[in-house]
């Protein structure tokens, strides 16, 4: 009998459950983040190294010149986070109050900055471009005001109540922030407001009563005084009688702005009014007519003065362009075949042979996009075996597309040819020929309509020749009593040939510090001219000169008219590297207000970067000339468009006047050094230089201004130490003289402003311009390349 197999039930194996160990987060993450914030805030606060400068510039983008406060606040929050590991809890009234105070402060400094710059729109764009330039260059050259935060506030509030209203609103916002911060109800301020209103009411009543009594006494004196006989005078006399008293009471500190000649509109035949004594009543002294005054004295009119003749200029033989003429047919066929191969239907309508390029005018068929032809620029250059072509699509005023192909041999445009081709304009002394365009026509510019000109291009592209041509053309068109010039040449070799001509207000200025001072003197002359115009009811220099000529014809007198003033800066980059703040302020003032006063500027630079040609300078100098540059970025900096990077050099330029939508290609006229010397010598033989003492910047003035700039007793010792060591930094002065950071930083800033040391360039040491054996700051700026 079979036995029954025992079946044993196996218990199922228990699964071993293993709990997954979850990774525990690092418990001090927030503390580390807070520590990093503290370190970055400290680096940015003291501008330590490249990272510190980057942090400072990033903070300046948002809060502008108050970036130190923002970094301190960020550092304080970082300390709290590093110590406690949590963000600090702050009551709402503290947050809202401090936010209103800080926001109002940013609004106020933004409004103040743009009021000083005389800019009333485009706040956000200006701050953004300036901050972007500093982020790229790693410097602190621009002034941001209140940064983007302040610019956004200002854009909204100034649009409603203007800049002055924005300043007032900023104070109200800060006052409201104080009330919120300290939880002060408005009811507590009611008694103080009532007292203030009562005081203002009583004060206004007292002032009104005093004015009324004074008017009654003045009327009584006039009735008691016998009437004086009124002298007969020409029609110009009433305007002159309204001029204010002579500026003899001006403070001695404004000696540099004293006038040097008088313009008297009243007839000299009339008997002079008796001199009023010091005890005479105010109305009698006001009845005397004063003579208008100005700083720049007009040169005496020499009836024998002769303008230089074009015979003084060298005759350049014309260039043989037979090969270029013969190549036109072949190039036309190549253009047609190349366009057909890419499926572009276009026909060559006209060909213009210019001095440096040949322009082929294409008429695209209906339905052909202009962009298709523009995108074929490289392919067309390859087919034509050209160095590079420029496409103008479309040509202004025509339904054609221009393709400019460089000539094999550039034809020289002689300065004598363009001068002889220009019709004489005695009433346009500032009309200057530039050269010839692609059709061979003479291109001229009138500085009175520009009213200012910016010239930029790479080294050797033809800037100096163009400036010599402009100056020589003015000398050949204008007498010394019509145009005065101030030449600023930091390179010391380009414009020194003009020293001694009677058209100069001052010898050629070559030192940057003196150049800044000279520009401010021109600003003072401009302001004095506006005061002169207001006295005689005139609006611009042409109206005032016509007014004086009319008065001269009435009484046969020879009162001098106001001359035009042309300021020419041959290298703006050198000035912007050493005395940028002073030079930029003066240039902006002249650019904004100089046209009506007869002041015109020509600014030239070989470094077209945003730290030299700033946004404010570009906005106020609308006319530009671009010579050959190395990149499209430089071309956009000058012209706001590409094209200058495709120029050929040797005088090839793009000229964009203020009234043109697109630049015009011009081959500049060539003038040799011999031609310049012939014209200058001819002028010197007729009349010698008579510099204006009020416009000449002397060494004594510079020493006085430098002595009054800084009150720190360690400045001279610090200057001697920096010159001896040939390096300068804030920490170096701290260790040497055992002073604090703020004092050492102020001394470094003073040294930079006076031109002894260069600007900060990231982590690199500052460059010292003054050598140990020199006695004055070097006038040479750091190399621009």
pLDDT 10s digits, 83-96: 888 888 888 888 89
Closest-CA residue to 436 (of 459, 455, 417): 417
Q: Among 124-128, 188-192, 597-601, 701-705, name the one with the lowest average pLDDT.
A: 701-705
Burial category of 10 from C-beta neighbours within 10 Å (exposed 0-12, middle 13-18, buried 19 and up): exposed
pLDDT band at 250 (very low <50, low <70, confident <90, very high): very low
Q: Are 572 and 604 in contact (CB under 8 A)?
A: yes
- Which residues does residue 261 pair with via DSSP β-bridges, in sequence order? 294
Q: Are 644 and 626 in contact (CB under 8 A)?
A: yes
**pLDDT for position 253:** 37
**Displacement of CA 391 from its chain's centroid (Å):** 31
Q: How far apart (Å, rounded) are the C-alpha atoms in residues 618 and 66? A: 26
Long-range contact set of residues 642-649: C-beta below 8 Å, sequence gap at least 24: 643/390, 644/457, 646/388, 646/389, 646/390, 647/461, 648/356, 648/357, 648/387, 648/406, 648/410, 649/458, 649/460, 649/461, 649/462
Residue 769 CB contacts under 8 Å (≥ 6 apart), including other chains = 578, 755, 756, 757, 758, 777, 778, 780, 781, 782
**pLDDT for position 120:** 77
Given a cut of 50, is residue 283 above it in pLDDT?
no
When pLDDT is averaged across residues 673-684 and rounded to a whole number, the result is 92
Q: Where are the beta strands (DSSP E) in 320-356?
A: 346-353
Closest-CA residue to 354 (of 378, 390, 384): 390
Given a cut of 70, is residue 520 above it in pLDDT?
yes
When pLDDT is averaged across residues 247-257 and rounded to a whole number, the result is 37
**pLDDT for position 14:** 56
Q: Among 104-113, 273-282, 316-325, 466-475, name the one with the lowest average pLDDT.
A: 273-282
Q: Among 340-354, 412-426, 620-634, name the one with the lowest average pLDDT.
A: 412-426
Please give the residue that has the higher pLDDT: either 378 or 558. Answer: 378
Q: How far apart (Å, rounded) are the C-alpha atoms in residues 163 and 169? A: 10
pLDDT band at 670 (very low <50, low <70, confident <90, very high): very high
In tens, the pLDDT along 605-624 reads 988 888 888 888 888 898 99
In tens, the pLDDT along 492-510 reads 888 999 999 999 999 999 8
Q: Is 457 annotated as a binding residue?
A: yes
Best mean pLDDT range from 132-141, 320-329, 729-738: 729-738
pLDDT band at 15 (very low <50, low <70, confident <90, very high): low
- Which residues does residue 444 pair with via DSSP β-bridges, in sequence order? 433
**pLDDT for position 563:** 92
Q: Is 458 annotated as a binding residue?
A: yes
Fold match flag (425-496+565-686 vs 698-785): no
Instruction: Classify each residue of 303-342 as buried b or exposed e, where b means 16 or more C-beta atoms within 10 Å of its C-beta.
Output: eeeebbeeebbeebeeeebeebeebbeebeebbbebbeee
- DSSP letter, residue 396: T
Given a cut of 70, is residue 362 above it in pLDDT?
yes
Q: How far apart (Å, rounded) are the C-alpha atoms in residues 58 and 135? A: 8
Given a cut of 60, is residue 747 above it in pLDDT?
yes
CA angle 403, 405, 411 (to 5 degrees): 130
Q: How far apart (Å, rounded) are the C-alpha atoms in residues 725 and 756? A: 13
**HSE-CB of 272 using CA atoms within 13 angstroms:** 6
Q: Are 689 and 501 in contact (CB under 8 A)?
A: yes
**pLDDT for position 498:** 93
Given a cut of 60, is residue 131 above it in pLDDT?
yes
**pLDDT for position 50:** 82
Q: Is 615 annotated as a binding residue?
A: no
pLDDT band at 244 (very low <50, low <70, confident <90, very high): very low
**pLDDT for position 421:** 87
Burial category of 635 from C-beta neighbours within 10 Å (exposed 0-12, middle 13-18, buried 19 and up): buried
Q: Is 459 annotated as a binding residue?
A: yes
Given a cut of 60, is residue 783 above it in pLDDT?
no
In tens, the pLDDT along 443-461 reads 999 998 889 999 999 888 8
pLDDT band at 16 (very low <50, low <70, confident <90, very high): low
* The domain defined by 327-406 carries CATH number 3.40.50.2030: no
**pLDDT for position 270:** 34
Largest CA distance in the chain: 169
Q: How far apart (Å, rounded) are the C-alpha atoms in residues 579 and 567? A: 17
Residue whose tokens read 């900096």: 637
**pLDDT for position 435:** 92
Given a cut of 70, is residue 305 above it in pLDDT?
yes
Q: Among 324-338, 351-365, 433-447, 702-716, name the one with the lowest average pLDDT.
A: 702-716
Q: Among 10-14, 316-320, 430-434, 745-749, name the one with the lowest average pLDDT.
A: 10-14
Closest-CA residue to 76 (of 58, 88, 89, 94): 88
Given a cut of 80, is residue 345 above it in pLDDT?
yes
Residue whose tokens read 């009594």: 213
223 three-class SS: helix
pTM over the 0.85 mark: no
When pLDDT is averaged across residues 268-283 and rounded to a whole number, the result is 35
pLDDT band at 22 (very low <50, low <70, confident <90, very high): low
Q: Is 440 annotated as a binding residue?
A: no
Best mean pLDDT range from 30-39, 245-254, 518-527: 518-527
**pLDDT for position 680:** 93
Given a cut of 70, is residue 24 above it in pLDDT?
no
In order, the DSSP letters of 699-745 are HHHHHHHHHHH---TTHHHHHHHHHHHT---HHHHHHHHT--HHHHH
pLDDT band at 1 (very low <50, low <70, confident <90, very high): very low
- Which residues does residue 14 pair with via DSSP β-bridges, in sequence order? none
Given a cut of 70, is residue 768 above it in pLDDT?
yes
Sorted by where each begins, the domain ranges of the chain are: 29-189, 327-406, 425-496+565-686, 698-785
Closest-CA residue to 747 (of 762, 764, 732): 732
In angstroms and rounded to an integer, the radius of gyration of the C-alpha atoms of the chain is 35
- DSSP letter, residue 662: S
pLDDT band at 392 (very low <50, low <70, confident <90, very high): confident
Best mean pLDDT range from 237-251, 520-534, 689-703, 758-772: 520-534
Given a cut of 50, is residue 685 above it in pLDDT?
yes
Residue 122 CB contacts under 8 Å (≥ 6 apart), including other chains = 619
pLDDT band at 12 (very low <50, low <70, confident <90, very high): low
**pLDDT for position 142:** 64
Given a cut of 60, is residue 227 above it in pLDDT?
no
Q: Are 26 and 81 in contact (CB under 8 A)?
A: no
Pick the CATH number of 425-496+565-686 from 3.40.50.300, 3.40.47.10, 2.40.50.140, 3.90.420.10: 3.40.50.300
Which sign, positive or negative, has the C-alpha torsion 449, 454, 458, 460? positive
**Residues 389, 392, 393, 394: what is their CA dihedral angle, to the nearest 10 degrees?**
-150
Class level of CATH domain 698-785: mainly alpha
**pLDDT for position 7:** 55
Q: How far apart (Å, rounded) are the C-alpha atoms in residues 331 and 335? A: 6
Given a cut of 90, is residue 112 above it in pLDDT?
no
In order, the DSSP letters of 20-45 are --PPPPPTTHHHHHHHHHHHHHHHHH
Q: Are 605 and 572 in contact (CB under 8 A)?
A: yes
When pLDDT is averaged across residues 373-399 and rounded to a whole number, the result is 88
Closest-CA residue to 403 (of 444, 367, 361, 437): 361
Q: Are 123 and 619 in contact (CB under 8 A)?
A: no
Closest-CA residue to 564 (of 624, 449, 481, 446): 481
pLDDT band at 249 (very low <50, low <70, confident <90, very high): very low
pLDDT band at 275 (very low <50, low <70, confident <90, very high): very low
**pLDDT for position 9:** 58
C-alpha distances in Å from residue 477, one per residue of 99, 419, 422, 424: 62, 10, 11, 8
Q: Is 460 annotated as a binding residue?
A: yes
**Residue 2, number of CB atoms within 10 A of its CB:** 4
When pLDDT is averaged across residues 355-359 and rounded to a whole number, the result is 90
In the numeric block, which tokens belong to residue 536?
């005689």
Given a cut of 70, is residue 259 above it in pLDDT?
no
Long-range contact set of residues 35-41: C-beta below 8 Å, sequence gap at least 24: 35/78, 35/82, 36/78, 37/74, 37/75, 37/77, 37/78, 37/81, 37/82, 38/75, 38/78, 38/79, 38/82, 41/71, 41/72, 41/74, 41/75, 41/78
Residue whose tokens read 């009309």: 431
**pLDDT for position 566:** 94
Q: Is 349 annotated as a binding residue?
A: no
pLDDT band at 223 (very low <50, low <70, confident <90, very high): low
When pLDDT is averaged across residues 532-548 and rounded to a whole number, the result is 89
- DSSP letter, residue 411: P
219 three-class SS: helix
Phi and psi at 655, nearest 5°, equal -105, 120
**pLDDT for position 775:** 46
Given a cut of 70, is residue 19 above it in pLDDT?
no
Closest-CA residue to 419 (of 308, 304, 567): 308
């Amino acid at each position: 009998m079979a036995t029954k197999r025992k079946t044993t039930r196996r218990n199922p194996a228990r699964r071993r459950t293993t709990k997954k160990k979850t990774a525990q987060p690092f418990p001090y993450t927030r503390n580390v983040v807070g520590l990093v914030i503290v370190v970055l805030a400290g680096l940015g606060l003291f501008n330590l190294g490249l990272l510190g400068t980057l942090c400072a510039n990033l903070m300046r983008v948002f809060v502008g010149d108050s970036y130190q406060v923002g970094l301190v606040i960020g550092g304080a929050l970082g300390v709290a986070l590093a110590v406690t590991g949590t963000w600090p809890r702050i009551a709402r009234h503290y947050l809202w109050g401090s936010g209103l105070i800080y926001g109002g402060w940013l609004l106020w400094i933004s409004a103040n900055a743009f009021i000083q710059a005389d800019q009333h729109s485009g706040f956000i764009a200006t701050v953004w471009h300036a901050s972007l330039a500093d982020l790229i260059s790693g410097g602190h050259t621009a002034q941001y005001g209140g940064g983007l935060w302040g610019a956004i506030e200002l854009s909204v509030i100034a649009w409603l109540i203007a800049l002055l209203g924005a300043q007032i609103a900023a104070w109200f916002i800060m006052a409201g922030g104080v009330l919120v911060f300290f939880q002060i109800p408005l009811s507590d301020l009611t008694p103080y407001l009532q007292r203030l209103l009562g005081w203002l009411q009583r004060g206004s009543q007292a002032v009104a009563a005093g004015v009324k009594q004074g008017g009654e006494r003045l009327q009584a004196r006039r009735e008691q005084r016998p009437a004086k006989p009124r002298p007969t005078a020409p029609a110009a006399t009433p305007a002159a009688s309204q001029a204010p008293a002579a500026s003899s009471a001006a403070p001695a500190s404004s000696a540099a702005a004293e006038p040097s000649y008088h313009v008297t509109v009243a007839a000299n035949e009339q008997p002079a009014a008796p001199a009023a004594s010091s005890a005479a009543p105010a109305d009698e002294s006001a009845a005397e007519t004063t003579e208008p005054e100005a700083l720049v004295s007009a040169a005496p009119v020499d009836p024998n003065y002769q303008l230089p003749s074009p015979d003084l200029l060298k005759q350049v033989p014309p260039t043989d362009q037979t090969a270029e003429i013969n190549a036109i047919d072949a190039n036309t066929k190549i253009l047609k075949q190349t366009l057909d191969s890419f499926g572009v239907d276009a026909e060559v309508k006209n060909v213009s042979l210019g001095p440096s390029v040949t322009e082929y005018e294409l008429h695209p068929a209906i339905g052909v996009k202009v962009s298709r032809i523009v995108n074929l620029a490289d392919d067309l250059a390859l087919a034509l075996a050209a160095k590079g072509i420029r496409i103008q699509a479309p040509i202004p005023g025509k339904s054609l597309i221009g393709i400019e192909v460089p000539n094999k041999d550039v034809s020289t445009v002689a300065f004598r040819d363009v001068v002889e081709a220009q019709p004489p304009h005695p009433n346009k002394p500032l009309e200057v020929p530039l050269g010839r365009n692609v059709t061979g026509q003479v291109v001229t510019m009138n500085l009175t309509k520009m009213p200012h000109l910016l010239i930029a291009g790479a080294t050797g592209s033809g800037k100096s020749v163009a400036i010599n041509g402009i100056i020589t053309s003015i000398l050949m068109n204008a007498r010394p009593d019509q145009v005065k010039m101030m030449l600023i040449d930091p390179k010391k070799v380009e414009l020194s040939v003009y020293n001694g001509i009677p058209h100069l207000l001052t010898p050629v200025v070559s030192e940057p510090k003196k150049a800044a001072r000279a520009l401010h003197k021109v600003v003072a002359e401009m302001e004095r001219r506006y005061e002169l115009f207001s006295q005689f009811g005139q609006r611009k220099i042409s109206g005032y000169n016509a007014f004086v000529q009319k008065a001269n014809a009435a009484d046969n007198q020879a009162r001098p008219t106001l001359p035009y003033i042309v300021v020419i800066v041959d290298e703006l980059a050198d000035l912007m590297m050493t005395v940028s703040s002073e030079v930029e302020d003066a240039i902006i003032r002249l650019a904004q207000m100089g046209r009506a006063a007869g002041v015109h500027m020509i600014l030239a630079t070989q470094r077209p970067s945003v730290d030299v040609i700033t946004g404010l300078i570009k906005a106020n100098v609308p006319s530009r000339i671009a010579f050959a540059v190395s990149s499209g970025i430089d071309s956009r900096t000058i012209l706001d468009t590409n094209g200058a990077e495709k120029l050929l050099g040797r005088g090839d330029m793009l000229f964009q006047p203020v009234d043109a939508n697109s630049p015009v290609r011009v081959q500049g006229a060539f003038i040799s050094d011999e031609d310049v010397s012939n014209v200058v010598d001819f002028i010197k033989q007729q009349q010698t230089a008579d510099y204006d003492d009020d416009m000449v910047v002397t060494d004594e003035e510079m020493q006085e201004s430098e002595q009054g700039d800084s009150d720190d007793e360690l400045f001279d010792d610090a200057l001697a130490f920096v010159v001896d060591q040939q390096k300068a930094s804030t920490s170096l002065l701290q260790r040497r003289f055992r002073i604090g950071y703020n004092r050492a930083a102020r001394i470094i800033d003073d040294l930079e402003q006076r031109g002894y040391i260069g600007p900060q360039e990231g982590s690199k040491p500052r460059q010292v311009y003054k050598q140990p054996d020199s006695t004055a700051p070097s006038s040479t700026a750091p190399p621009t390349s």
